[in-house]
């Protein structure tokens, strides 16, 4: 006999309590490197980074989250690993909203419709975005909904480096969205092109095509980071800046 | 005062004038002449028949007396007047439409012949409807059949048109022969050939001749009415004919079959066997269902409309069949309602089918294509044609407040009245037929949603459809007239039912107008027919709204039942329209108020982000009707050809060819077996012809011997 009702009642609510409470379950986030004081081994640490996310500035090793793919090479297998942040509230607002007409009003706080477009992602970000719609993370409880059409969407989620073939669909989707609208770049690829960078086949990040408002770093970012990004859009979480804002804006990694 | 008869003479003079002038005027002026003369003729015939219809002033004209055949008599009674009125109502807009439409045939086909045939056809149809003796009836019937064949086959340079024309002519002649035999059986033993003397002796006919007359006349006239199984010519004739002729074919000529059935089986020799009514009902229902099924899956606009004509004729015939059954079972009131329903539906069908054919003609002449898979997006370039076609589609799909709704609703209600009948078997037949008619009504919606949406909405599927331009005003106005009449016949049923009631009262010997349209506007206190409780109840509901302002009996169609069940059915499209208008304007104003402060931006349709939205990617007419095609696979029984060409790797298909061939169910199950049987018999007999003279001599000898033996035995 089908006992799923009973089983469900017995199991109780397992959904995460974030954002009301901190989520502390182990393995909820892979974490990101934090900068650290140099100890004379900066050249060795910096050279271990495959994506040139680590930089040596003065006496600090700083991390560029636009590029970090948290590969753990700066954590494991070296003597003096960098400090490791196990949190997940990584989303950052990178664009000041100055125009009042673009402001998402109070009405959107608990009714935000999301359209996700895969801009040539490897699949990791996609599976993390899938998670936010599932019972554990369940964005419906927050009033966030994924819609099939951009005509009803307030937020455009983009993952992947925006390949040549996906440029037009993303442009069209952004164009079809009613104002006011927001764009969230999910994952390192969507922020800076990631390990693909800009090339003949890749735009190298969504910002080169349409203005992104929020970036969620990570490769891939855990679901809670994505939820954090969505909460930032509706100002239900205070906007923070990247902990190590080593700005390289305007400069492309592989130029 | 000029009497209806004088107007009728005027009509005949105008038709002859049209014939003469179209011969002598230059060809270029012919379409305009046709429009003027025949529309004035239509108005005069409308006036003439309208007078008879409303005030009951039947007129009789005695033509010359023929040796052995009696006097040729023309008489317009109310039944004829109704059919003549519908004829005029269809001919008037179609004639105006023809002026512009026929221009496309200039220098390709002879416009003079068209004009001559057109006027002659008009005259012959009207004469046929008021012919009051067998000779003039059959004479005008033949003239009408041949002229309609000539007009259908107007584009005679196309081979397929000629063959469909021949099929039409052949079937029509076969039907005429059957009908003529029915008349001969009727005339057998009567003093004259006029209908009155036939009627006087008809009561003495035996059962077997009654059955023979019924079967011969019903199946003979069902050819013209386009009923299954004699309908196969109709879907072939319509695409061949010019659109204005199609409008006449469906709007007028099909009605003549119904007229023939009614004239013989309800007027001259009223049916006496319940089986006759059941056959009529069954054939009607099957026609309705088969017609709409094929209409739904056809993509050529005119073929679709032709199948839909079969469907509507089926509904009308089912109504008549129900009327026959009720008459025989002794329920004259229910029979009257059934006949009114059938005639109402026939009127409506003439109006909206003429409108839809004119719409199809407008699309055809503007785009040059009638296939819905190659149209699309016409609403942008042809807004008025689109609007009128939409009204026609809404009417035929039986949606309130348009006219199709009233008559289809009444038809279904009539089917439900079978509860009053005694016999269980008859009740079961009625229940099944009612269910089939309900299915038909539902499929009709599917069919016309497809017809309108695929042709007029979406994006243009071809260059021609994209570059189409709106037709000239002289083509739009006739469609507008028909669209407005569709609406009027829909919202004013309480004014039309009394007129129809006059028409059928001579057939059922009982007026049913009080049963269908209670006089809520005029009923006084303590009326013997309407109890005070009944009237006050409906006055509380608002049925007298409009009293002292609007003339007439009321705006509610209501059938009263027994004490226990005072209201059997009731509805009012007039009040529905008022409520509909109020609701729609209310919603419109509400939306305007709510969105006043909002910014509205217009963006292109979200196409899923494809590089370019190709017309092939959008929903096609074939795709839309595919569910119906799959569900009713057992009826369509297509033979499929699935051919795939693949490269050696078998991953890439270079070509996929899917072909689907369908043989119409009537062709497959009725005509093909007959043809096969005749051919096999011919092969069998053909063996006799061996070519040897000796054997032929032997045949002569054997026949001689057989004849001698028979002679000796007798």
Same domain, A48 and A121: no
- Residue A243, pLDDT > 60, answer no
Q: Which residues of A touch B608 (CB under 8 A)?
A: 169
Closest residue by Cα to residue B348 from B256, B486, B445, B159: B486
Is the residue at B113 inside a domain? yes
Same domain, A130 and A38: no
pLDDT band, very low/low/confident/very high, at A78 (cuts 50, 70, 90): confident
pLDDT band, very low/low/confident/very high, at B229 (cuts 50, 70, 90): confident
Q: What percent of chain A has pLDDT over 70?
A: 90
- B596 in contact with A, Cβ within 8 Å: no
Predicted pLDDT of residue A240: 64
Q: Name the domain boundary from A66, A85, A104.
A: A85
Mean pLDDT of B289-308: 93
CB B406 within 8 A of CB B344: yes
Is the residue at A246 inside a domain? no
A172 to B609: CB separation less than 8 angstroms, yes or no: yes
Q: Which residues of B touch A158 (CB under 8 A)?
A: none
Q: How many CB atoms lie within 10 A of CB B463?
A: 9
Among B598, B602, B604, B606, which would you mutate to test the A interface (most chain A Cβ atoms within 10 Å of its Cβ)? Answer: B606
Same domain, A50 and A125: no
Mean pLDDT of B66-86: 85
CA distance B543 to B536: 10
CA distance B669 to A134: 57
Q: Residue A199 has which token pair? A: 């090339």
Q: Which residues of A touch B604 (CB under 8 A)?
A: 176
* Domains in chain A, number: 2
Q: Which of A201-205, B137-141, B257-261, B641-645 has the lowest mean pLDDT?
A: B641-645
pLDDT, tens only, B481-519: 999 999 999 999 999 999 999 888 888 888 888 888 888
Is the residue at A100 inside a domain? yes
What are the C-alpha distances in Å from B295 to residues B185, B243, B302? 37, 17, 10
CB A181 within 8 A of CB A153: yes
- B597 in contact with A, Cβ within 8 Å: no
Is the residue at A155 inside a domain? yes
Is the residue at B13 inside a domain? yes
Same domain, A149 and A189: yes
Q: What percent of chain A has pLDDT over 90?
A: 38
B604 to A170: CB separation less than 8 angstroms, yes or no: no
Is the residue at B100 inside a domain? yes
The overall average pLDDT reported for chain B is 89
Predicted pLDDT of residue A97: 60
Same domain, A51 and A100: no
Only one residue has tokens 């317009």, namely: B76
- B611 in contact with A, Cβ within 8 Å: yes
Same domain, A108 and A149: yes
- Residue A101, pLDDT > 70, answer no
Q: Which of A233-242, B105-114, B223-232 has the lowest mean pLDDT?
A: A233-242
- Residue A251, pLDDT > 60, answer no
Same domain, A216 and A171: yes
Among A172, A175, A210, which would you mutate to test the B interface (most chain B Cβ atoms within 10 Å of its Cβ)? Answer: A172
**DSSP class of residue A115?**
E
Same domain, A119 and A156: yes
Predicted pLDDT of residue A43: 82
SS3 state of residue A183: strand
- B601 in contact with A, Cβ within 8 Å: yes
CATH number of the domain enclosing A151: 3.40.50.12280
Q: Residue A22 has which token pair? A: 């901190």
Q: Which residues of A touch B603 (CB under 8 A)?
A: 151, 175-176
Only one residue has tokens 């960098």, namely: A82
Provide ipTM, 2 decimals: 0.70
CA distance B148 to B146: 5
Same domain, A46 and A159: no
Mean pLDDT of B107-132: 91
CA distance B305 to B32: 27
pLDDT band, very low/low/confident/very high, at B345 (cuts 50, 70, 90): very high
* Domains in chain B, number: 1
- Residue A242, pLDDT > 60, answer no
Same domain, A180 and A229: yes
CA distance A86 to B95: 85
Mean pLDDT of B59-77: 79
A176 to B611: CB separation less than 8 angstroms, yes or no: no
Is the residue at B598 inside a domain? no
* Number of helical H runs and strand E runs in chain B: 29, 6
CA distance B671 to B668: 6
Same domain, A100 and A223: yes
The overall average pLDDT reported for chain A is 85
Same domain, A72 and A106: no
**DSSP class of residue B667?**
I
Is the residue at B122 inside a domain? yes
Closest residue by Cα to residue A132 from A109, A157, A108, A111: A157
- Residue B398, pLDDT > 60, answer yes
Is the residue at A20 inside a domain? no
Helical (H) or strand (E) element with B654: strand B653-661
Maximum average pLDDT range among A65-74, B155-164, B365-374, B435-444: B435-444
Q: Residue A144 has which token pair? A: 């966030």
Cα torsion B563, B565, B569, B572: sign: positive
Domain containing residue B5: 1-207+214-230
State the distance between the two ends of chain B, measured CA to CA, in whole angstroms. 71
pLDDT, tens only, B448-488: 999 999 999 988 888 888 888 898 999 999 999 999 999 99
Is the residue at B511 inside a domain? no
Mean pLDDT of A144-150: 93
CA distance B521 to B422: 36
A175 to B607: CB separation less than 8 angstroms, yes or no: no
A169 to B609: CB separation less than 8 angstroms, yes or no: yes
Residues 6 or more apart whose CB falls under 8 angstroms from that of B240 comprise B152, B153, B155, B158, B160, B161, B164, B165
Q: Which residues of A touch B601 (CB under 8 A)?
A: 178-179
What are the C-alpha distances in Å from A29 to residues A77, A138, A230, B174, B700? 21, 17, 17, 86, 108
Residue of B nearest to A179 (CA): B601
CB B381 within 8 A of CB B428: no
Closest residue by Cα to residue A166 from A130, A136, A124, A210: A210
Is the residue at A156 inside a domain? yes
- Residue A156, pLDDT > 90, answer yes
pLDDT, tens only, B160-182: 888 999 999 999 999 999 999 99
- Residue B133, pLDDT > 90, answer no
| Between A103 and B581, residue with greater pLDDT | B581
Is the residue at A19 inside a domain? no
CA distance B641 to B638: 10
CA distance A239 to A241: 7
Q: Which residues of A touch B606 (CB under 8 A)?
A: 149-151, 172-173, 176
B615 Cα to chain A: minimum distance (Å):
18
Among A99, A113, A118, A169, which would you mutate to test the B interface (most chain B Cβ atoms within 10 Å of its Cβ)? Answer: A169
pLDDT, tens only, A32-55: 888 888 777 778 888 888 888 888
- Residue A103, pLDDT > 80, answer no
pLDDT band, very low/low/confident/very high, at B13 (cuts 50, 70, 90): very high
Q: What percent of chain B has pLDDT over 90?
A: 52
Predicted pLDDT of residue B582: 96
Burial class (CB in 10 A: 0-12, 13-18, 19+), B353: buried
Domain containing residue A224: 92-233
Q: Which residues of A touch B607 (CB under 8 A)?
A: 172
- B606 in contact with A, Cβ within 8 Å: yes
Is the residue at A229 inside a domain? yes
**DSSP class of residue B374?**
G
pLDDT, tens only, B269-285: 888 889 999 999 999 99
Is the residue at B14 inside a domain? yes
B601 to A176: CB separation less than 8 angstroms, yes or no: no
Phi, psi of A145 (to 5 degrees): -135, 140
Is the residue at B235 inside a domain? no
Predicted pLDDT of residue A99: 58
Is the residue at A5 inside a domain? no
**What is the bridge-based pairing of β-strands A182-186 and A84-85?**
unpaired
- B602 in contact with A, Cβ within 8 Å: no
A117 Cα to chain B: minimum distance (Å):
10
Nearest by CB: B609 against A151, A173, A178 = A173
Predicted pLDDT of residue A62: 86
Ramachandran class of B201: left when φ > 0, alpha when ψ lies in -120 to 50, beta otherwise: alpha
B603 to A175: CB separation less than 8 angstroms, yes or no: yes
């Amino acid at each position: 006999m089908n006992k799923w009702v009973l089983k469900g009642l017995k199991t109780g609510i397992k959904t995460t309590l974030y954002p009301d409470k901190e989520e502390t379950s182990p393995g909820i986030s892979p974490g990101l490197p934090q900068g650290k004081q140099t100890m004379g081994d900066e050249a060795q640490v910096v050279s271990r980074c495959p994506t040139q996310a680590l930089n040596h500035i003065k006496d600090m090793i700083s991390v560029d989250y636009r590029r970090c793919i948290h590969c753990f090479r700066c954590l494991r297998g070296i003597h003096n690993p960098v400090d490791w942040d196990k949190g997940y509230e990584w989303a950052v607002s990178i664009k000041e909203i100055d125009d009042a007409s673009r402001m998402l009003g109070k009405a959107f706080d608990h009714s935000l419709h999301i359209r996700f477009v895969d801009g040539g992602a490897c699949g990791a970000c996609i599976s993390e975005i899938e998670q936010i719609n599932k019972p554990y993370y369940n964005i419906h409880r927050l009033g966030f909904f994924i819609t099939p059409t951009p005509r009803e969407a307030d937020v455009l989620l983009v993952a992947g480096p925006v390949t040549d073939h996906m440029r037009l669909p993303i442009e069209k989707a952004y164009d079809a969205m009613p104002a006011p609208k927001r764009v969230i770049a999910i994952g390192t690829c969507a922020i800076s092109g990631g390990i693909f960078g800009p090339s003949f086949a890749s735009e190298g990040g969504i910002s080169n095509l349409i203005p992104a408002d929020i970036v969620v770093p990570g490769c891939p970012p855990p679901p809670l980071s994505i939820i954090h990004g969505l909460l930032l859009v509706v100002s239900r979480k205070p906007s923070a800046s990247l902990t190590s804002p080593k700005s390289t804006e305007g400069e492309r990694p592989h130029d | 005062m000029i009497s209806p008869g004088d107007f009728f003479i005027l009509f005949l003079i105008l038709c002859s004038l049209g014939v003469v002038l179209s011969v002598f005027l230059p060809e270029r002026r012919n379409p305009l002449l046709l429009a003027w003369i025949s529309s004035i003729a239509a108005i005069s015939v409308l006036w003439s028949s309208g007078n008879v219809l409303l005030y009951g002033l039947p007129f009789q004209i005695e033509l010359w007396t023929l040796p052995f055949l009696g006097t040729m008599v023309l008489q317009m009674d109310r039944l004829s007047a109704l059919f003549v009125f519908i004829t005029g109502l269809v001919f008037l807009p179609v004639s105006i439409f023809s002026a512009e439409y026929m221009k496309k045939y200039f220098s390709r086909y002879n416009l003079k012949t068209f004009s001559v045939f057109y006027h002659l056809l008009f005259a012959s149809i009207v004469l046929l409807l008021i012919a009051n003796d067998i000779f003039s009836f059959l004479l005008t019937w033949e003239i009408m059949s041949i002229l309609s064949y000539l007009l259908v086959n107007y584009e005679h340079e196309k081979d397929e048109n000629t063959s469909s024309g021949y099929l039409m002519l052949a079937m029509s002649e076969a039907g005429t022969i059957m009908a003529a035999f029915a008349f001969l059986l009727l005339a057998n033993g009567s003093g004259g050939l006029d209908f009155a003397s036939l009627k006087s002796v008809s009561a003495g006919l035996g059962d077997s001749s009654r059955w023979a007359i019924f079967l011969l006349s019903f199946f003979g006239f069902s050819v013209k009415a386009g009923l299954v199984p004699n309908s196969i010519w109709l879907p072939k004739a319509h695409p061949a004919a010019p659109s204005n002729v199609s409008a006449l074919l469906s709007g007028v000529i099909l009605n003549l079959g119904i007229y023939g059935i009614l004239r013989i089986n309800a007027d001259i020799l009223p049916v006496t066997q319940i089986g006759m009514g059941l056959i009529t009902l069954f054939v009607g229902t099957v026609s309705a269902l088969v017609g709409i099924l094929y209409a739904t899956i056809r993509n050529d606009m005119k073929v679709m409309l032709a199948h839909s004509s079969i469907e509507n004729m089926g509904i009308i015939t089912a109504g008549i069949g129900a009327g026959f059954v009720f008459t025989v079972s002794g329920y004259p009131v229910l029979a009257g309602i059934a006949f009114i329903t059938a005639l109402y539906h026939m009127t409506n069908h003439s109006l909206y089918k003429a409108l839809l054919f004119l719409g199809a003609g407008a699309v055809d002449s503007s785009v040059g294509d009638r296939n819905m898979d190659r149209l699309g997006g016409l609403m942008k370039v042809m807004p008025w044609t689109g609007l009128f076609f939409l009204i026609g589609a809404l009417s035929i799909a039986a949606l309130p407040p348009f006219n199709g709704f009233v008559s289809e609703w009444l038809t279904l209600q009539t089917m439900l009245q079978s509860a009053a009948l005694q016999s269980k078997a008859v009740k079961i037949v009625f229940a099944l037929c009612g269910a089939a008619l309900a299915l038909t009504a539902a499929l009709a919606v599917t069919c016309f949603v497809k017809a309108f949406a695929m042709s007029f909405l979406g994006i243009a599927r071809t260059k021609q459809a994209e570059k189409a331009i709106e037709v000239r005003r002289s083509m739009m106005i006739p469609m507008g007239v028909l669209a407005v009449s569709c609406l009027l016949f829909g919202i004013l049923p309480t004014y039309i039912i009394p007129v129809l009631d006059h028409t059928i009262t001579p057939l059922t010997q009982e007026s049913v107008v009080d049963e269908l349209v209670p006089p809520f506007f005029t009923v006084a206190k303590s009326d013997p027919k309407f109890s005070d409780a009944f009237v006050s109840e409906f006055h509380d509901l608002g049925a007298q709204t409009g009293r002292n302002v609007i003339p007439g009996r009321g705006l509610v169609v209501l059938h009263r039942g027994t004490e226990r069940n005072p209201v059997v059915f009731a509805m009012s499209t007039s009040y529905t329209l008022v409520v509909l208008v109020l609701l729609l304007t209310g919603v419109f104003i509400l939306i305007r108020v709510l969105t006043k402060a909002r910014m509205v931006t217009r963006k292109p349709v979200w196409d899923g982000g494809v590089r370019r939205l190709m017309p092939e990617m959008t929903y096609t007419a074939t795709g839309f009707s595919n569910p119906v095609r799959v569900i009713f696979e057992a009826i369509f029984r297509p033979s499929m050809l699935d051919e795939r060409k693949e490269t050696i790797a078998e991953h890439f298909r270079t070509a996929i060819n899917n072909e689907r061939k369908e043989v119409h169910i009537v062709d497959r199950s009725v005509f093909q077996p007959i043809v096969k049987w005749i051919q096999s018999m011919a092969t069998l007999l053909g063996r006799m012809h061996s070519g040897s003279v000796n054997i032929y001599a032997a045949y002569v000898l054997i026949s001689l011997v057989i004849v001698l033996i028979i002679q000796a035995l007798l």
